[in-house]
Structure 1
Amino acid sequence: MANYLRILQLIIAFWCVFYPVLALNNCDFPALFNFGDSNSDTGGFSAAFEAPLPPYGETYFGKPAGRFSDGRLTIDFIAETFGLPYLSAYLDSVGSNFTTGANLATGGSTIRPQPSLPLGRFSPFYLNIQYSQFLQLKSRSLLFSKKGGFFKTLLPKEDYFDRALYTFDIGQNDLTAAFLDKKSTSEIKASIPDMLSNFSANIKALYDQGGRSFWIHNTGPIGCLPYIFVNLPVTQLDNAGCAANFNGVAQYFNLKLKDAVVQLRKDLTLAAITYVDIYTVKYTLISNANKYGFKHPLVACCGSGGKYNYNGKAGCGATINVNGTKVVVGSCKTPSTRVNWDGIHYTEAANKWVFEQIVDGKFSDPPTPLKMACPVAVG
């Protein structure tokens, strides 16, 4: 017992020295502000360009809900954890409520700007633009809240911006764009420091605006997506059947992202910055799908044709001609047992499984539970 207590004391002392700003109790986050791409988009792309068609949203919402999945995303489960409503997309002008935060994420978004627009491949709402939109939301919220009335029921309170949790899930599209542009592995790796310099600059800018709590997801195993197998040359498969060359670049990006987070902690001493290893969680699910109640992890649930049930020209919800008859590209019979939804994104069941692995902090650095991912002064 004495040895146990001594070990516990050493652990506490270690945390106090190396992570002095971590909360000792559950945090009181009154709002969430999310930045990212389609992995966490709750309606930005839908509002700005075109909405996903049925069967998107069929599992939880019963209809398309601006999400590229059959139901909820990880960001939705994060909101539920704090008893907050699902985030309205900043770009959605109809029916939005920003009292408890906003979602700046947009499908196709990148850290750095890309040359092609959404109907090509990528979104113009790259990370710098998402930050600019946040600034507009903040300044206009403070301005209009003073007018009272219904504005107070739709906009965040002034102190919410400082006390909020800021979440990030972005970078996957930067890597995909480089692959599609036929960049070599060495060229892509050489570009990653600039990507992360842009990323860090945005974290610092939010810190200057009062943000203190940051929850940062690394990028997932892109080499396990049907989209990659169909559109890019796969040179080597790993034991899970994923494209090792693409996953290798994703892992390198994550290594450098973790280094950037370590530096951010040194620069932003009052912040609590949590790095979440989404890659390991998703790869674990894909490589051990049967163990966790899933099947066909490399095959899209909603798609049409081929080994991976993915066709970029006739994606989920599209109308195609089959023997002279118009048919809607629909979903599989049991989305709840599938990992991949539409060739790029995950099913609600997979998103929920991923969330359940990360919520307690065991895949985080530092190993901080979601509910404690704030500075002591904020908790």
Structure 2
Amino acid sequence: MKMIIIFYITFTCGFLENVISNVNPLPYEAIFNFGDSISDTGNDATYYPPMDGDSPYGSTYFKHPSGRMSNGRLIIDFIAEAYGLPMLPAYLNLTKGQDIRQGVNFAFAGATALNMDYFIQKKLIPPLTNISLSVQLDWFKKLKPSLCKNKQECDNYFRSSLFLVGEIGGNDINALILSYKNIAELREIVPLIIEEIINVTT
């Protein structure tokens, strides 16, 4: 787990350094993001509105509830800003006629890489949500006809789009930890998580 966190931080720092230094030869015109709370810009808050209706998240930067699991901005916000793009709207917050050509965020707080069926089958304490990575991919597929109409148009459009898949998988591990599984059992789930991330990315 420690190695995953170190890898993620190293990758993010390298990625941001490349973007911010303007040496990246690929200017992106849109960003599509998939993941969990680390990059959720409002899907969870829309699906499960705060009970008190006045979430403190967002108070330090946005000065109002922003739908993020943070009082400020997220890494995905800085990536969008570095490419001169607006902050990504959450998929569940989209309104009719809204311009989505510069990207959409499908990340959902509490999301898992694996589907809920896995946790039920293994008799594990289930994750807090059933919005897995494959559910987010289904959301993208539903949105796709609004973005491009045919293969050539889609190829051209997505060629200049950045797709981010993850961070995700931590909530899968958490479900096993909460179910009092040992290290050997935790190790067994890692290849399954990786395989699911690869499949969705492909």
**TM-score normalised by structure 2 residue count:** 0.74
Give the aligned partner of residue 35 of structure 2. Answer: 36
Q: 1:161 aligns with which of 152, 158, 168?
A: 158
Q: What's 1:139 paired with?
A: 145
Corresponding residue SS for 1:123 = coil
Residues 111 and 170 of structure 1 are in contact (CA less than 8 Å); yes or no, is this contact kept in structure 2?
yes
Q: Which has the larger radius of gyration?
A: 1
Inter-partner Cα distance in structure 2 for 1:28 and 1:139: 23
Shift of 1:54: 3.4
With over 3 angstroms needed to count, the CA separation of the structure-2 counterparts of 1:53 and 1:172, relative to structure 1, is farther
**1:130 CA displacement:** 0.9
> Residue in 2 aligned with 1:98?
100
Do the aligned residues in 1 keep the contact of 2:100 with 2:147 (CA within 8 Å)? no
Identity of matched residues, %: 36
Choose between structure 1 and 2: higher helix proportion: 2
**Structure 1 unpaired stretches of 5+:** 1-23, 144-156, 205-379
| 3-state secondary structure, aligned to 2:54 | coil
Query: More displaced, 35-44 or 97-106?
Result: 97-106
Give the C-alpha shift of residue 25 in structure 1.
Answer: 5.0
Structure-1 residue corresponding to 2:178: 180
The list of structure 1 runs, each at least 4 consecutive aligned residues, that deviate by more than 6 angstroms after superposition, is: none
Candidates 109, 119, 129, aligned match of 1:107: 109
- Counterpart residue type for residue 105 of structure 1: A
CA–CA separation in structure 2 for the residues paired with 1:111 and 1:121: 11
- Distance verdict in 2 for CA 1:192–1:140, change over 3 Å: same
2:168 is aligned, of 167, 170, 177, to 170
- 2:5 maps to none
| Structure 2 match to 1:189 | 187
Deviation at 1:100, TM superposition (A): 0.4
Amino acid at match of 2:56: P
Which blocks of at least 5 consecutive residues in structure 2 are unaligned? 1-22, 121-125
Asked whether the 8 Å contact 1:48–1:92 carries over to 2, the reply is no
Q: Which position in structure 1 is the counterpart of 2:123?
A: none
Report how far residue 161 of structure 1 moved. Answer: 2.0
Q: Which residue of 1 aligns with 2:86?
A: 85
1:74 has 2:44 as partner: no
Distance 1:124 1:97, change over 3 A: farther
What is the CA–CA distance in structure 1 between the aligned matches of 2:158 and 2:80, rounded to whole Å? 16
Higher mean C-alpha displacement, 72-81 vs 163-172: 163-172
Offset of residue 93 of structure 1:
3.3
Amino acid at match of 1:187: E
1:131–1:79: structure 2 CA closer, same or farther, 3 Å change rule?
same
Write the distance in 2 (CA, Å) between the matches of 1:70 and 1:25. 29
- The higher relative CO (CA closer than 8 Å, separation ≥ 6) is in 2
Q: Offset at 1:55? A: 2.0
Alpha-carbon shift at residue 185 of structure 1 (Å): 1.0
Q: How does 1:225-264 map to 2 (within 5 A)?
A: none
Give the counterpart letter for 2:194 in structure 1: L
In 2, the alpha carbon distance for the partners of 1:161 and 1:36 equals 19
Amino acid at match of 2:179: D
Aligned residue number for residue 221 of structure 1: none
SS in structure 1 opposite 2:138?
Answer: helix
The alignment's TM-score, normalised by the length of structure 1, stands at 0.41
Taking the aligned partners of 1:134 and 1:63, their CA distance within structure 2 comes to 28
Q: 1:97 to 1:46 in 2, by over 3 A?
A: farther
User: In structure 2, how many angstroms separate the alpha carbons of the residues matched to 1:97 and 1:182?
Assistant: 46
Cα distance in 2 between the residues matched to 1:36 and 1:78: 15
